[in-house]
Amino acid sequence: MKTDNTTDTSKRKFLGGAAAVAGITIAPGVLLQTVQAKPDDQAVSNKVRWGMLIDTNKCADGCTDCVTACNSEHGLAGHDRPETDTQYIRKVTLKDKQTGHVKTLPVMCQHCETAPCADVCPTGASFKREDGIVLVDKHICIGCRYCMMACPYKARSFVHEDVYDQKDHTPRGKGTVESCTMCVHKVDKGENPACVTACNKEHKAMYFGDLNDANSEISKRLKEHGGKQIRADLGLNPGVRYQGV
C-alpha cells in the first residue's frame, strides 16, 4: 500500500482518469443507514443488490480506519510481507501532477455483476451470490489463482501460510484465494460491513445499501450526485461506486 504522496501513475491509469475536477459536496446528515435483516432460514434473492458508495472527498489522507477495521473483523494478521500478505481492502493515493491535489480512496473487491473472477474459475469456487456479493467458496477452491489474474482491481489475495486462530465467521486457510466478502456474515444479520461502520465514526465517506431499492440511502445519493465505476470501460457493473474521482 502506498501511503506517501508521490505520484503513482500506474494506479492513476488503473483508476481510469485523473483526479477529480471539482468536489461534490454532500450535505452532512444522519448517515447510519439501516439494512433489512434477512431471516436465517431464507435464501438470498436477486431482488436485493448490495452495493457500496465511497465519497472520496470525505476520505481522509492518512486515515486507514476502514483497513484496520477490516483486518480485525476478519482476523487478517500479516507476516510483514506486503507483497503476499492478505488484504481485503487497501488505501490508494492519487495525486494530480498539475495541481498537486492529493486524493485517497479505499479499493476492495468491487463485487462486479459480471465478475471476471467467477468467469475464469475452473472449479466454481468463485461465484456471485444472488444478492450480488462475490465470494470464494474455499471448500472448492484449489488455489490456482486464475481469479487473481483476472481481477482488474487487484482485489484478491492468496493465503501462502498456515493460518491460526481464525475468526469463526471468517474461516481462512492456506492454499486458497480470498477477498473482501462485503462482511457477508454481518450483512445477513442486517448490519453494515465493518469498514463502513468504522468510517461512519468520523469521516462518513462510505455508504452501504441496496442498489435495487430506490428508497435506500445509497440509491438516493447515487441518483442525486452520481457515482463512478472504476474501470467502467470494462463493463463489469461493479457494486462499489465512487464519488469525486
Partner 1 sequence: MVSWFQKNLQKSMLAVSVLLLAGSVNVNAEVAAPVVPKGKGEQCVEPTGEMRKNHMEMLKHQRDETMHNGIRTKKHALKECISCHVQADDKGQVARFGEDGHFCSSCHNYAGVNVDCFQCHADRPQELIGKGHKIKPHHTANFNDASVNKEALQALSKVSK
Which CB sits closer to partner 1, 159 or 205? 159
- CB 157 to partner 1: min, Å: 15
C-alpha cell belonging to residue 203 = 469521516
What pairs with residue 105 in β-bridges?
92
- CB 91 to partner 1: min, Å: 28
- CB 239 to partner 1: min, Å: 16
Which CB sits closer to partner 1, 14 or 158? 158
Phi/psi region, residue 36 (left: phi>0; alpha: psi -120 to 50; beta: rest), is beta
Which CB sits closer to partner 1, 42 or 215? 42
- CB 136 to partner 1: min, Å: 9
User: Do 35 and 209 meet the contact criterion of CB atoms below 8 Å apart?
Assistant: yes
- CB 168 to partner 1: min, Å: 4
| Alpha-carbon span 93 to 116, nearest angstrom | 25
- In degrees, rounded to 5, the angle at the alpha carbon of residue 114 between the alpha carbons of residues 112 and 14 is 55
Which CB sits closer to partner 1, 15 or 187? 187
Residue 178 — φ and ψ, nearest 5°? -145, 165
Which CB sits closer to partner 1, 100 or 124? 124
Q: Give the residue among 173, 169, 123 at the shortest CA–CA distance from 145.
A: 123
C-alpha cell belonging to residue 197 = 461502520
Binding site for partner 1 (CB under 8 A): 38, 40-44, 127, 129-131, 135, 137-139, 162-169, 171-174, 176, 184, 188-189
